[in-house]
Amino acid sequence: MTKIRFIVNGLGLGNSTRCHAIIQRLNSMDVETSVATSGNGLWYFKNKSEITRLDELKAIHYGAKEGQISIIKTFAAVPTILGVLRDNMRLMMELLQVEKPDAVVIDSDYSFLPMRRLGIPIIALNNSDIVVQSKRRFAPMPDTVRGQYYAVERFDFLFHRVIPDLVISPSLESNFPSYHKKFKRVASVVREQYRPTDWRTHPKKVVIMLSGSMFGSPVVLKQDSYPFHIDIIGRDTPDGWHDCDGIKFHSRIRDNAALLTEADLTIVNGGFSAISEVFHMRKPIIVIPVPKHAEQWVNAKTIERIGVGMVSQESNLEPAMLAAFGRIDELRNAYQQLGRNPDGAKQAAEKILKFLRNNR
């Protein structure tokens, strides 16, 4: 039986959910999978029946200041980050020597030396090539995200161009050209249960699902009532909150498909996995990119260009929500023009197995 080890960055949930989507398809193809991750990833993968084992890694974090990405603090933390990488590589060497997988899939993890030393193929799940190409496509790039682009995103692209043997690069636009032969394009990667549903004639529900990482946007609602019900995923009920008809907080949820299925409008940060799932479900979207984050800015601009959603800021959440709710028919029509999305997770699983067959 083919065995594949996934090494997943556990800072937010997006890396975990999209890796799980591919694991689901591999599982149906009789592939045995295991996962090593940290933080939110450990919480997410706990008790997932598709994986044979779950191992804990030390977490790597961006530097932060006042809840936002700080390039200066990220550079200052480099010695700590290198120490964490060293410890993680030591653990992975031990695990891989015992497990002997046919390949390792990495998602936003850079602990590649154990695989190189053991001669294990490295496959990455990464679309930094799209971020690099989109810098010109959506020029000019705002000064607020330029620093993070050069300090993180550009490095991310160069790493994946050089180190992995294969890079699976998902895109909302499945015909988006590949920038380098190593990057293989697939459609958006989403979990099996996140399927398109029929639209309601009379919209009545909004889902706010902002990032669960430390950089997730705050949810501040000031009005006493709204012309729709609001479900807020990933946020605990605030202290002193007075129960309000039509607003419900849901804390963290591993599987939010049921709530998203009922949504007529969704509000998300600019993480690619969250956008991919609501895009695949054909839900009108408001994207609130995390400040100073180049990839999230690109993802937001892509949604705006396709026409299925709007871009807003944290401080403008309520007016944007009301404006988008009034434009739902227009945003739905943009989805009609696009047609149905291919199964990017299945495409990814097939490309991984094809690569292994061709390189045994």
Report the distance separating Cα 7 and Cα 330, nearest Å. Answer: 40
The residue ranges of the chain whose pLDDT is under 70 are 61-79, 212-216, 242-243
Q: Evaluate whether 81 touches 60 at the Cβ level (below 8 Å).
A: yes
Distances (CA, A) of 118 to 87, 93, 98, 99, 187: 17, 8, 11, 12, 32
Q: How many CB atoms lie within 10 A of CB 41?
A: 29
The pTM of the full predicted model, rounded to 2 decimals, is 0.90
Residue 148, phi then psi, degrees to nearest 5 = -65, -30
Within 10 Å of residue 137's Cβ, how many Cβ atoms? Answer: 13
CB 249 within 8 A of CB 236: yes
SS3 268: strand
Please state, as a whole number, how many other Cβ atoms lie within 10 Å of the Cβ of residue 342.
13
Distance CA 280, CA 340 (A): 8
Which of these, 46, 49, 45, 36, lies nearest to 9 by C-alpha position?
Answer: 36
CA distance 273 to 279: 10
Strand partners, 5: 34, 104
Radius of gyration of the chain (CA): 20
Three-class secondary structure of residue 52 per DSSP: strand
Residue located via tokens 């450990």: 42
Q: What residues form DSSP beta bridges with 232?
A: 208, 249
The H or E element that residue 124 is part of is strand 122-125
SS3 of residue 245 by DSSP: coil
pLDDT score at 360: 76
Q: 346-349: long-range contacts at Cβ-Cβ below 8 A with a sequence spacing of 24 or more?
A: 346/25, 347/186, 347/187, 348/22, 348/25, 348/125, 348/168, 348/170, 348/186, 348/189, 349/22, 349/25, 349/26, 349/29, 349/31
The number of beta carbons lying within 10 Å of the beta carbon of residue 48 is 16
Q: What is the DSSP secondary-structure string of 154-223?
A: HHHHHHHHHS-SEEEEEESSTTPPPSSTTEEEEE----TT----PPPSS--EEEEE---STTPPP-----
Closest residue by Cα to residue 289 from 311, 308, 273: 311
